[in-house]
Amino acid sequence: MGKVPVENNDTEGKKNEFSLVRIKSTWKRKLGMKAKMNTTDHVSAAKIYESIEETGTSWTVVSPIVFTYKVTEAQNLLDPCNDTLLLGHITDPQQVEDMKKSSKPLKRFVVVDQEVFKIYGSKLTEYLEANNVLYKILALPTTEENKSMEMALKIIEEVNTFSLDRRREPIIAMGGGVCLDIVGLAASLYRRRTPYIRVPTTLLSYIDASVGAKTGVNFANCKNKLGAYIPPTAVFLDLSFIKTIPRRHISNGLAEMLKMALMKHRGLFELLEEHGQMLLDTKFQADNSRYGHNHIQAASQATRIAITTMLEELAPNLWEDDLNRLVDFGHLISPALEMKVLPSLLHGEAVNIDMSYMVYVSQESGLLTEEEKQRIIRCMVGLELPVWHEACAMELIQKSLQDRLKHSGGLFRMPLPVGLGQADIFNNTSNEILHRAYEKWCDELSVSSDSNCDPSPARIPTLHQF
């Protein structure tokens, strides 16, 4: 090593900006990029800022992190002739060709919800074997009650035993939102980040959990309290999986679709308002002839608008640096409600009850007209979603909002509709408005004081009441 000169005192207070340049197999910092470089040198987007003070030197590292992931509509993912599930995440065409020509078999670890495995397990196995894949299928009961670090660690242990290449052999997650969240967290922890692919099999996960970066598990009786922001390498959306889920789960997914409609897209709201029953009846399947071409068009428009509006909100704010998030609509009270009555309410049902109350808050705040409020509630009822729950008491609402203050920089950051398909963030909603809205909400929508937590016709008001 060369001799390091002793710096003079006149360097105190000095600040330098260094770029980082790759020269052969090492990185070197260069002051202000003024030094002459060869054309073969690679310049990093990262910077190092050095500040020399009397008390010592400090270095500030600015290292931009770019994640690229594909969300792709696909058909017949488990058709042995379709290689999307195995190679669709690769962006380099030459790499795809090389892998197809290679005699080395592909290796894949697949985590699948056990209910999904009961329906598609044999088809998945046939697909992997037909494509000469070395595989391990792990079927797990990925329910909200089991959404824990223990399950994430179980996945990690199995992955470690299977011995994946952490850069070229992505883990595949097939299931609903809970499955995708747990597998995403496990992948982000194993070897500090192993690529993974999401294949949603429920409507809710199709338009919500699958297209973002969040992963997580429940902890300390709180929903998703442990997690990370690591997006998948790819998401493959195949609507054919939706046809095997119960009607209640279609409604469950429609709640998240309605959320995006109320926050951002009046056209989507009107589509759900007019065609919601048809979407429930046909389960978004193109081969249903009962409703003809109008159904196919409505189903395609609804899913694409919901995903596009969701990505518009998520892509610029993947790590939630900005806490003002319209996609939090329906998620201020619902996490506590969902955990309190677990497993009685599905996620989308809890979200819709939250949204229903907030619609009343919006109307009491003068942001929605009475007619707009009634249209929204009618639409919710038409989508067969619960609009009120006895466990959603004022005490739970107030505690949820206090927790919101603690975790959102001392502000409520309350997304509220200000018309159909428009919204804004509010921090100054008074307790008086919250209480008035709650009283009116209960007076108009509570249908029986002794109802249980299971959604039933007795718990969901009929359309003629509005």
Angle at Cα 132 formed by Cα 129 and Cα 134, nearest 5°? 85
Give the whole-angstrom CA distance, residue 243 versus residue 239.
Answer: 8
Query: What DSSP state is assigned to residue 432?
Result: H
Query: What DSSP state is assigned to residue 90?
Result: -
> Is 147 a catalytic site residue?
no
Evaluate whether 325 touches 332 at the Cβ level (below 8 Å): no
| Catalytically annotated residue among 214, 223, 283, 373 | 214
The CB density around residue 300, as the number of other CB atoms within 10 Å, is 14
Residues 6+ apart with CB under 8 A from 438: 357, 360, 394, 397
What tokens does 24 get? 């052969």
Angle between helices 266-282 and 247-264 (to 10 degrees): 170
As beta bridge partners, residue 138 has 111
**269: nearest Cα among 383, 171, 125:** 383
The CB density around residue 371, as the number of other CB atoms within 10 Å, is 9
Give the whole-angstrom CA distance, residue 272 versus residue 382.
Answer: 9
Unique residue bearing structure tokens 């197999």 = 25
Active site residues: 214
